[in-house]
Structure 1
Amino acid sequence: MKARERVLRALKREKVDRVPLDFWAIPGIQERLCRELSLDEEGLLRYFGVDFRTVEPRYIGPSLEKKNGMQKNVFGVWEKEGFLGYGEAPLEGACTPEDIDAYPFPDPEWFDVTHLREQCEKYKDFALRTAPAWGTWWASFQLSQALRGVERFFVDLLENEALVNRLLDRITEFTLRVNEKVFEATRGYLDIYFLGDDYGSQRGLLISVELWRKYFKPRIKLLCEQAKSYGLWVMFHSCGAIAELIPELSEAGVDIINPLQTRAKGMDFESLSRFKDLVAFHGGIDTQELLPFGSEEEVRQEVRKAISALASSGGAYILASSQELMPDVPVKNVVAMYDEARKIKF
């Protein structure tokens, strides 16, 4: 069975030969895996049996400032290896919606999509999804914190509704316009739109369901509706204990939940299995303790447990690590994860 067929059949809850597999890692460990296994990046994905490939627009806008291993993204926020919020919050002093409008938001024309069709054609046998690049994938919660400052933004949610709505709208409008460029350029090839925001801690949600429903659900729904108008599945990333939001995300149009941080409260496989009629799951093989410190046999046991809980009895599951693989994960455990998953036939 070809990779793309495997993924799409699994998402439709149809019979497949094995669980679909995905891969995500920070560059350091990906380079180490390639080196130790004597493979290039594409060879590594094929060695592990990864069923996905990513496509992303090319940034062609103004030069982005860099210093001390950090870089400003297109919104003017310092980030490091994709993590937001290093340094000052450029909108911390804003008081009104007009102050938000005065801020220099990025131009969607800074993103070139002319190469995407060729990229899609190259990987047409794989499930194709958008990549989280250049600040265009956040649904607005994390980015707003980085722009306003974490404490200031949390106060805003309760005390400055007009400012919050203008900020969230400006971010969402930009994202919709970039998405339109990408979706038009990849029409007929792209399968999955990937976006996200981190709403959970290890113990629970960072804001109440009521506040999330008020501010974020309508905008996520807009992004999902846009993707579905192009026939795409929607995969949503949120770290932490987000079980309370899974039905809400499903109502908004989300089809796949990532990354399944299974050590967070209520996010173990057994607890998540009650939602498998609502959404598909992606991820779940623990990067906090298991992959960095567990034995190969413990990794294999967890793979079997995940597949049994989430891919059986009508569930849809894509196996991957619960976060990006980090430098503390030994190669042998990564190999064990993929090897065990490929052994389990349906």
Structure 2
Amino acid sequence: ENILRRLKVDVRGALVQLPSEPKPEIGFENETTLVYHDEWGIKWAKPPSSLYMDPVGAPLKGELTAERLANHPWPDPDQEGRYIGLREEVERLRNTGCAVMFSLYGLGILDMALMIHGIEDTLMDMGANPAAIEDLFGRITEFQMRVWTNTLEVLGDKVDVCLHSDDLGSQATSMMSPDMYRRLLKPRHAELFAHIKKSAKTDVKLLLHSCGSVRSLIPDLIETGIDALNPIQVGAA
């Protein structure tokens, strides 16, 4: 808090909690690489040379069928452990006199799909198997909508900004064409963002975080209902 005030930062951020159940499976591979599987079934690993846990195993990698999607053990958005202490934490942040920004612990719709189905498979299937991708995007969207419903019910009028993170750009261009974004992802973004604003107790602002070059998508992003975009990555094309 002292550092934030020294730097004149006037926003404080909070996250929804990880679920208390089920407990993640944590262990070691090759005696030195820390690994665990999260509630989505995604495998994460941290070798000694790394500073971070990185996703290394996609549970639905390979052929994406309706049967695999239906049988996958999807996480429970109503798990009570996610929401323990949120109200108290946000009230503490509100008492600083700063604006309060809140986000889910996980990533956005596309980001989660990339980790669940694999980067290459997801990007290929957006063109080759769009029906399965729409199903996958829909399941992720439904989960996030439910978590936002529960979160905003707990937070009441204590939040000013809702942050959604979905990395839609590379260094050179967007991860998909504007036309593909309009067909597959834009409807889900619009649905989610409208739900967040409807569920909020106050006139919250919707901030979208996306790394990379999203210049070609900005007109469509505005139409989804966002109020601000972060960052404006001038080093990207």
TM range (shorter): 0.7 to 0.9
Could you tell me which residue of structure 2 aligns to residue 251 of structure 1? 223
In the alignment, does 2:88 pair up with 1:88? no
SS of the residue 1:93 aligns to: coil
Check conservation: 1:84, 1:146, Cα contact below 8 A: no
Check conservation: 1:84, 1:142, Cα contact below 8 A: no
In the alignment, does 2:129 pair up with 1:160? yes
Check conservation: 1:92, 1:147, Cα contact below 8 A: yes
Q: Deviation at 1:262?
A: 1.4
SS of the residue 1:58 aligns to: coil
Could you tell me which residue of structure 2 aligns to residue 183 of structure 1? 152
Q: 2:23 aligns with which of 50, 58, 63?
A: 63
1:266-305 matched pairs, under 5 angstroms: none
Check conservation: 2:36, 2:43, Cα contact below 8 A: yes
Check conservation: 1:233, 1:255, Cα contact below 8 A: yes
In the alignment, does 2:92 pair up with 1:122? yes
Structure-2 separation of matches of 1:193 and 1:80: 29
Q: 1:227 aligns with which of 169, 193, 196?
A: 196
Check conservation: 2:206, 2:225, Cα contact below 8 A: yes
Deviations 1:306-336 (A, max 9, x none): xxxxxxxxxxxxxxxxxxxxxxxxxxxxxxx
Check conservation: 1:55, 1:120, Cα contact below 8 A: yes
Q: Deviation at 1:165?
A: 1.1
In the alignment, does 2:3 pair up with 1:44? yes
Deviations 1:13-68 (A, max 9, x none): xxxxxxxxxxxxxxxxxxxxxxxxxxxxx211121111111222232121112342
Amino acid at match of 1:112: R
Structure-1 separation of matches of 2:139 and 2:54: 19
In the alignment, does 2:65 pair up with 1:100? no
Q: Deviation at 1:182?
A: 0.7
Deviations 1:222-257 (A, max 9, x none): 111112112221111111111111111110001110
Structure-2 separation of matches of 1:58 and 1:143: 17
Check conservation: 2:12, 2:93, Cα contact below 8 A: yes
Deviations 1:278-330 (A, max 9, x none): xxxxxxxxxxxxxxxxxxxxxxxxxxxxxxxxxxxxxxxxxxxxxxxxxxxxx
Q: Which of structures 1 and 2 has the bigger CA Rg? A: 1
Cα distance change, pair 162–210 in 1 and its aligned pair in 2 (3 A): same
SS of the residue 1:87 aligns to: strand
SS of the residue 2:56 aligns to: coil
Amino acid at match of 2:83: V
* Structure 1: tracts of 5 or more residues without a match: 1-41, 266-346
Cα distance change, pair 84–234 in 1 and its aligned pair in 2 (3 A): farther
Could you tell me which residue of structure 2 aligns to residue 300 of structure 1? none
SS of the residue 1:216 aligns to: helix
Structure-1 separation of matches of 2:54 and 2:121: 13
Q: Deviation at 1:107?
A: 0.5
Structure-2 separation of matches of 1:84 and 1:235: 26
SS of the residue 1:123 aligns to: helix
Bigger mean CA offset, 123-132 vs 171-180: 123-132
Check conservation: 1:97, 1:162, Cα contact below 8 A: no
Structure-2 separation of matches of 1:51 and 1:78: 36
Cα distance change, pair 143–185 in 1 and its aligned pair in 2 (3 A): same
Check conservation: 1:56, 1:130, Cα contact below 8 A: yes
SS of the residue 2:173 aligns to: coil
Q: Deviation at 1:131?
A: 3.4
Count matched residues: 221
Could you tell me which residue of structure 2 aligns to residue 196 of structure 1? 165
In the alignment, does 2:140 pair up with 1:171? yes
* Structure 2: tracts of 5 or more residues without a match: none
Structure-1 separation of matches of 2:45 and 2:232: 23
Amino acid at match of 2:100: L
Structure-2 separation of matches of 1:142 and 1:237: 12
Q: Deviation at 1:172?
A: 0.6
SS of the residue 2:143 aligns to: helix
Residue identity (%): 30
Check conservation: 1:77, 1:85, Cα contact below 8 A: no
